[in-house]
Amino acid sequence: MFRVNKRVLASLTLVWGLGLSADGLAGDNFTNPIISGGYPDPSICRVGEDFYIANSSFEYFPGLPIHHSKDLVNWELIGHGLHRREQVSGSVNLVDVQSDGGIHAPSLRCHNNKFYLITTNVYSPTEPGKDTQMVNFVLTADNPAGPWSMPNVIDGAPGIDPDLFFDDDGSVWYVGNHAPADARYPGEGEIWLQRLDPNSWELIGERHFLWRGALKRAIWAEGPHIYKHDGRYYLLVAEGGTSFNHAVTIAVSDLLTGPYEGNERNPILTSRHLSYDNWVNSTGHADLVELEDGRWYMVALGIRGDEERRSNMGRETHLIEVEWEREPYWWKEKKYLWPVAAPSTGRVERTSPLPFTDSQHSPSLTLRDDFEQSELGLAWTFRRAPEADAYSLNSRPGFLRLYSQSTTPAARGRVAQVGIKQTESDFLFTARTHFESQTINSEAGVTLFQKDDHFLNAVVKRQETGYELTITLANRGAPAMLASKVVPEYSGVIEWQLESLRKHYEVRYRFTPESEWSLLHAMPSNQLLSQYYTGAHVGFYASSNGTSTADYMDIDWADYRAKPRQ
């Protein structure tokens, strides 16, 4: 079970949480992204002087990561909306969910001192002929760090990426999207609105159809958020898919139920007009937040173009200044007020002025975990909800014990695999592991993993006459052996290094801390480059390769150090 533990948080946040253990940036600027690693589809809310962001997590568990900040640029991971196995083993299924399924774009809101997370679980049934299920549900909590409630499923709500809107009269509204029956082109989406009973979680009353977006033939208006400002209702939408044509558009109405009129200057944020080689691309899927002093900011996802116009961090959270401007047209009876993103440049900048001049941006670059706490730290995640006995921190105090499973990475499968998010293209991951076995082909070691068919495993493997070191790469397909080396001197303990530097990976090992590092394999990093919704994780893997076994790997410590590219 994943629970919030103050001692765990204190231990990990010495070095982890986007605001820790790093060289502060000189001057009065911050650097995007503000939350590095695979944290897409950000939704933000403010409660007094505190800011909170929730992100998509797809098939990973724990899901719905939640960060906290006081200054909008330094963020600490404080919990997850889905942090207990019983939350994700029913209608919200993260047990055998497909790759890129699972938890899509959430909306995080606070109303009357209660926090709400509304989101979608996308699950494709394994039975032939059955349609993909889109389960929209709400979680509630008194504290954004948790604990969070069991999922409250909203029946009769098609589509993905829902939002909750609390109007001034006390009414609660569900905002969703769907594919209209009279779609004018393939992929056209429509935003709809309906009242929601917050006690029974039932949709009630008439359903209102609000807007189909501004970018014709841009596909799939989604990710809606509604705000009330200047006495009117504003509808913010993501359009254009999730790649280079991604964009943020906005519409306004005098009435919550519409009709909505699009901004003639849409989109208000995109990179579609920039070079494919811009430092960040695919910017979109945004949310707005008003500061206590009346200023506004936007958070949006983007993909860094570190290598081949992509990066292994996938989609990350960026911060953009927003100003509201009144239309200057003298002939218009209604002169709408519209948000202008990045008013000086119109795009997401790598470096921008700090929102609060009394702060300094200190992005997290390191994580060190000696596994001395009683619960697994918040930064560690699994692909899918793990088995109940997948690991232990008590069997050998001071070690993380990862129990081997007979499974290997496969579509919809659960394996003995745990990791932390890769936060920069260049990094050094070092760890010490203990592993011994009498089971032929049983293996354990370190891994860089993204999907069921996209990973790099470096392991020590039991053979009939002893042990060997092997490296296996799956590059969007079946795994292939890259290197192997018999190691008669192996005695059960090994230190690993996995380094990404200057667009190359190197895997090294040694058997004692006093020994020199030995190179096991080197390869270009683009052989494992992300093409997915989620970014890469670096961590640990163990498997008995089809044999039932009681094997396990004890992990003494793990050390991650990232290096931003200039």
Q: Could you report the per-residue pLDDT of 192-211, keeping only the tens digit for each?
A: 999 999 999 999 999 999 99
CA distance linking residue 425 with residue 422, whole number of Å: 8
Per-residue confidence band for 185, with pLDDT thresholds at 50, 70 and 90: confident
Distance, CA of 196 to CA of 223 (rounded, Å): 18
Q: Which two tokens stand for residue 355?
A: 């929102």
Return the SS3 of 359.
coil
Split at pLDDT 50, 70, 90, the class of 218 is low
Contact (CB, 8 A) for 73 and 355: yes
SS3 state at 334: coil
Which pLDDT does position 503 carry in this prediction? 92
Q: Is residue 21 very low, low, confident or very high in pLDDT (cuts 50, 70, 90)?
A: very low
SS3 state at 341: strand
**Distance, CA of 478 to chain centre:** 26
Sorting pLDDT into bands at 50, 70 and 90, what band is 271?
very high
Please give the pLDDT value at position 9: 35
Question: Strand runs (DSSP E) across 361-409, as ranges?
Answer: 366-369, 382-383, 391-392, 400-403
Return the pLDDT at 566.
65
- Angstrom distance (rounded) from CA 22 to CA 470: 34
For the segment 304-316, what is each residue's pLDDT rounded down to a tens digit?
999 999 999 999 9
pLDDT for position 441: 96
pLDDT reading at 556 higher than 90:
yes
Distance of CA 99 to the CA centre of its chain: 14
Using a 10 angstrom Cβ sphere, with 0-12 exposed, 13-18 middle and 19 or more buried, the burial of residue 342 is middle
Residue 460 and residue 493: Cα distance in Å, rounded? Answer: 10
Which regions of the chain carry the CATH code 2.115.10.20?
Answer: 43-286
Determine whether 41 is an active site residue: yes
pLDDT digits (tens, 9 = 90+) for 101-157: 999 999 999 999 999 999 999 999 988 889 999 999 999 999 999 999 999 999 999
Q: H/E element holding 531?
A: none
Please say if the pLDDT value at position 395 is more than 50.
yes
Q: How far is CA 75 from the centre of its chain?
A: 14
Reported as a single tens digit per residue, the pLDDT across 337-393 is 999 999 999 999 999 999 999 999 999 899 999 999 999 999 999 999 999 999 999
Question: What's the pLDDT at 12?
Answer: 38
pLDDT tens digits for 49-68?
999 999 999 999 999 999 99
Residue 518: what residue type? S
Give pLDDT, residue 4. Answer: 35
Question: Per-residue pLDDT for 17 more than 80?
Answer: no
Beta strand residue intervals within 151-253, DSSP E: 152-153, 163-166, 172-178, 190-196, 203-211, 222-229, 232-239, 247-253
Tokens representing 358 are 């009394």
pLDDT interval class at 413 (50, 70, 90):
very high
**CA 542 to chain CA mean position, Å:** 24
Q: Residue 7 pLDDT > 70, yes or no?
A: no
Which class is domain 43-286?
A: mainly beta
Predicted confidence at residue 44, as pLDDT, reads 98
| Long-range pairs of 271-278 with CB within 8 A, sequence gap ≥ 24 | 271/244, 271/246, 271/302, 271/347, 271/348, 272/240, 272/244, 272/245, 272/246, 272/247, 274/347, 276/244, 276/305, 276/309, 277/305, 277/309, 278/305, 278/347
127: annotated active-site residue? no
d(CA 320, CA 345): 11
Mean pLDDT for 235-263 is 96
Query: pTM to 2 decimals?
Result: 0.94
Cα 503 to Cα 310: distance, rounded to the nearest angstrom: 12
pLDDT at 394: 96
- What is the average pLDDT value for the chain, to the nearest integer? 93
The pLDDT score that the predictor gives to residue 26 is 46
- The residue among 341, 278, 332, 384 whose CA lies nearest residue 61 is 384
Distance CA 90, CA 271 (A): 39
What pLDDT is recorded for position 186?
A: 87
Contact by Cβ (8 Å): 271, 283: yes
Give Cα separations from 209 to 175, 178, 202, 256 (angstroms): 10, 10, 18, 11
Q: How far is CA 130 from CA 100, 124, 133, in A?
A: 18, 8, 9
Q: What is the rounded average pLDDT of the residues 21-45?
A: 82
pLDDT of residue 25: 44
**pLDDT at site 64:** 98
- Among the listed residues 41, 452, 495, 554, the single catalytic one is 41
What 3 state SS string does 191-203 have? EEEEEECCCCCCE
Query: What are the start-end ranges of the H helices in 313-414?
Result: none
Find the mean pLDDT for residues 167-188.
94
Distance CA 161, CA 225 (A): 9
- Band of residue 404 on the pLDDT scale cut at 50, 70, 90: very high
Residue 8: the pLDDT is 36
Alpha carbons 285 and 392: distance in angstroms, whole number:
38
What's residue 539's pLDDT?
A: 98
In the predicted structure, residue 24 carries a pLDDT above the cut 50:
no
Domain 366-563 is of which CATH architecture?
A: Sandwich (2.60)
**CB 261, CB 212: distance < 8 Å:** no
Can you tell me the mean pLDDT for 418-426? 97
Range(s) of the chain covered by CATH 2.60.120.200 = 366-563
pLDDT in tens, 520-550: 999 999 888 887 789 999 999 999 999 999 9
- Per annotation, catalytic residue among 76, 222, 443, 452: 222
